[in-house]
Structure 1
């Protein structure tokens, strides 16, 4: 057959790679992937503020690269997803270094050495776009060379990746003394540190742990499952078959707040906070791909009562295609055959997590044998939430006492009720997949005696406040819950 060679136009390809949606911490994580794959024991991420000349670098002491290997590493998609990789290689499509870098900077320089001989190659996106060719430059400009020399020091092996002309910071109106932009730049340092601590947690602990630093601060691993805490509940781990490999799934239910110190509770919330950290954690070769997500399952929304549910999923790299691991290594789509099993495990974990918080909520709502302690009673009899004011409370008793209910007592009671609305108990007892919302006075229909008595008091209050009887009844007709009830006001 005849054919045409339809090679991608460089400027368009660069624009596409630059628009994959990397955050800066995620882009740095892609560079750290390469350092880990290269067997580095020490990895330094450096942020340096210099106005529009600010730069970011990742330096490692891994095995480095020869000149030929460096050119391959700098070539877009030089190795496809089916390329045979070592067991420690965290790569996927062969575009991570380039796509991550192009999303953050206009100039990418890489210096690498294996046995004392350093090689440097540079992608300058201005050169690529102006020439219309994939011109991988030998060496780099004088200013960049000075930075590379400083970063590599006297090392005879390793790799230095340097981003210059950073997107968002290389504009003409950015000056070195711009405190607002500088604060924004260094805010990325903290975000990057916490993100790397989450993504590479398994590489930052154990006997062969790496030393990873961000601007001189050691990155501490963040364990989303609090694996070493004695109060963590572990559900039985399962090995789910997927072709010739197996996917390991283990669910954890974390301790409730009363079993944690304030420091433990704050740290367990993770970089994004408790609500956004619940759900599945998908790992590929011990590298976190997805952190805290319910994988799009129906009726599995993020809700606070499921905050304690976290599920570890370990997928072998051989299953990348089945899991739909994306270029950024930040999202997955579970294989069809595993979805029912993952949903079953998720529902079990969510139920147990809700039970833990429900127990705490019920304890908070109970009187503990003392009818005077709580202003509210919250129950869920017959599948319906029931929320009542505790009529045994001394302030309620004072307000109800004939001839003794002073305005001060009523004000104090109102303020107490405002300050103690049982939100926590209602939150953990409410079931999203059931219709358990309380219905005032038994629901729509004919008003019972209790509803009529309350309406009569409101009616008399409106009349004594200056409204005509007709206007008072009209107001009652539009006032919840009497707008859903029939009584003297609806005639």
Structure 2
């Protein structure tokens, strides 16, 4: 067969790699993958503001690279997904370093050493686009060389990745005293720190000999455990080992405690970088590195709803099943294998139901008063597809107000305050189904008033008249007052 060599044009390839949709925190995480794979124990991420000359760097004390290894690492897709990788290698496509870096900067420099002999290579995208060639530069400008020198200090091994001419900051109008843009820059650093604490939590909290020390601008990154696995009130559903080819996928569901069992600090921390609603669902790990955080994996009918906020499920992908899970270039999304989807759906349904039960129970508990016997101020029921909310007439305070001859203003005031403070929001939220028309209908909904409705309306009417309104004005006011504006009675005649 005859053929043509259809090599990609460098400028077009750079544009494609720069447009893969990396956020800055995700791009930094891709660099740290390489540090972890290199056996680094200490990893420093530096954000330095200098206006349009601001820069970001990741420096580690890993095993470093020889010059041929450095050139390979800087070559786009030099190692494909089928290349053998060790069990600690977090890479997959061989483009992470380049695609993550090109998405954030116009200049990528890497300095590395294995035994005191430092080598450096640089991608300058302006050079690539102007020359139309993949010119991997052997050095860099004096300022870049000086920054790399300061970062490596006296180390005799390790790797430093430096981004300069940062996208969004390397503009003529950005100056070092631009306070607004400076705040934005360091806000990105804070977001990166939170993201890294989530993605690499298992490495940061690892046991002796396995733990990594990760710092962002000198601040130690704290691991974020989405499952609150050490909290005594967390419910663990039975762990399942699901078969996939010749290996197994470990799945464990956690039901977090409700807010009433957490301190304010615990509750705020458990919300995670994205907040409670966006952190519910599956957490997929690949070689202990978090790939996907808080997602229902596209299962039909499984939307994010507040009543499922407490459900979080850990899924560990075994080594060598990346293809089956369709792990993408950014290591930020997966597609479950067909053979596992039904099992994952079952686990998710169980976790969601249990999480909703926790909130439903909490909704009832929130409405109680501390008496003997235990009594709730509100009764919430769901029957015949409708939710009803009623004041508990057996509650001692309610009984005291309803007692014949009772005219104790203090008791009435206390009851009103109790009802205000115990509105069963949690229970209503859990019981209400957004896909059905189950909103409570006051007094049975539109239509003629029954005796109970008329009695309540008469009491309101009398209070209006005794307050100085004429009978006509009182009926007019009642006619426009919800829910009587939707019900037919003496006021609408």
TM-score of the pair, normalised by structure 1: 0.89
In 2, distance between residues paired with 1:334 and 1:447? 55
- How far did 1:439 drift? 2.4
Match of residue 321 from structure 1: 323
Match of residue 438 from structure 1: 440
- How far did 1:465 drift? 5.3
Comparing 74-83 with 1-10, which one deviates more in the overlay? Answer: 1-10
In 1, distance between residues paired with 2:411 and 2:234? 45
Report if aligned partners of 1:361, 1:429 keep a CA contact under 8 Å in 2.
no
Match of residue 156 from structure 2: 156
Superposed counterparts of 1:343-358, under 5 Å: 343-358=345-360
- How far did 1:370 drift? 5.8
**Cα distance change, pair 403–43 in 1 and its aligned pair in 2 (3 A):** closer
Report if aligned partners of 2:360, 2:426 keep a CA contact under 8 Å in 1.
no
In structure 2, which of residues 271, 280, 283 is the aligned counterpart of residue 281 of structure 1? 283
Match of residue 206 from structure 1: 207
In structure 1, which of residues 245, 261, 264 is the aligned counterpart of residue 263 of structure 2? 261
Report if aligned partners of 2:475, 2:491 keep a CA contact under 8 Å in 1.
no
Report if aligned partners of 1:399, 1:409 keep a CA contact under 8 Å in 2.
no
Match of residue 229 from structure 1: 231
In structure 2, which of residues 239, 246, 249 is the aligned counterpart of residue 247 of structure 1? 249
Cα deviation 1:56-106 (Å, max 9, x = unaligned): 100111111111111111111111111111111111111111111111111
In 2, distance between residues paired with 1:447 and 1:14? 72
Paired residues in the alignment total 488
Report if aligned partners of 2:400, 2:406 keep a CA contact under 8 Å in 1.
no
For 2:321, what is the secondary structure of its paired residue? helix
For 2:181, what is the secondary structure of its paired residue? helix
In structure 1, which of residues 327, 331, 334 is the aligned counterpart of residue 333 of structure 2? 331
In 2, distance between residues paired with 1:417 and 1:179? 49
Report if aligned partners of 1:378, 1:385 keep a CA contact under 8 Å in 2.
yes
Report if aligned partners of 1:459, 1:472 keep a CA contact under 8 Å in 2.
no
Report if aligned partners of 1:399, 1:405 keep a CA contact under 8 Å in 2.
no
Name structure 1 gaps, 5 residues minimum: none
Comparing 385-394 with 20-29, which one deviates more in the overlay? Answer: 385-394
Match of residue 67 from structure 2: 67
Match of residue 447 from structure 1: 449
Match of residue 365 from structure 1: 367
Match of residue 291 from structure 1: 293
In 2, distance between residues paired with 1:252 and 1:36? 27
- How far did 1:440 drift? 2.1
Match of residue 103 from structure 1: 103
In 2, distance between residues paired with 1:35 and 1:176? 31
In 1, distance between residues paired with 2:46 and 2:348? 39
Name structure 2 gaps, 5 residues minimum: none
Superposed counterparts of 1:305-320, under 5 Å: 305-320=307-322
Comparing 383-392 with 172-181, which one deviates more in the overlay? Answer: 383-392
- How far did 1:434 drift? 5.9
- How far did 1:230 drift? 2.6
Match of residue 183 from structure 1: 183
In 1, distance between residues paired with 2:250 and 2:406? 69
For 1:12, what is the secondary structure of its paired residue? helix
In 1, distance between residues paired with 2:412 and 2:365? 27
Report if aligned partners of 1:395, 1:412 keep a CA contact under 8 Å in 2.
no
**Cα distance change, pair 55–438 in 1 and its aligned pair in 2 (3 A):** same
Match of residue 117 from structure 1: 117
**Cα distance change, pair 415–165 in 1 and its aligned pair in 2 (3 A):** same
Cα deviation 1:153-187 (Å, max 9, x = unaligned): 22222111000111122111211122222222112
The answer to whether residue 102 in structure 2 is matched with residue 88 in structure 1 is no
In 2, distance between residues paired with 1:365 and 1:248? 39
Report if aligned partners of 2:64, 2:159 keep a CA contact under 8 Å in 1.
yes
Match of residue 56 from structure 2: 56
- How far did 1:45 drift? 0.8
In 2, distance between residues paired with 1:374 and 1:486? 32
Match of residue 300 from structure 1: 302
For 1:226, what is the secondary structure of its paired residue? coil
Match of residue 3 from structure 2: 3
Report if aligned partners of 2:449, 2:488 keep a CA contact under 8 Å in 1.
yes
TM-score of the pair, normalised by structure 2: 0.89
The answer to whether residue 29 in structure 2 is matched with residue 22 in structure 1 is no
For 1:20, what is the secondary structure of its paired residue? coil
Cα deviation 1:434-463 (Å, max 9, x = unaligned): 654322222444432223444566778899
Report if aligned partners of 1:80, 1:94 keep a CA contact under 8 Å in 2.
yes
For 1:144, what is the secondary structure of its paired residue? helix
In 2, distance between residues paired with 1:83 and 1:165? 32
Report if aligned partners of 1:372, 1:393 keep a CA contact under 8 Å in 2.
no
Match of residue 37 from structure 1: 37
In 1, distance between residues paired with 2:300 and 2:464? 48
Comparing 231-240 with 394-403, which one deviates more in the overlay? Answer: 394-403
In 2, distance between residues paired with 1:165 and 1:320? 34
- How far did 1:405 drift? 8.7
Report if aligned partners of 1:399, 1:410 keep a CA contact under 8 Å in 2.
no
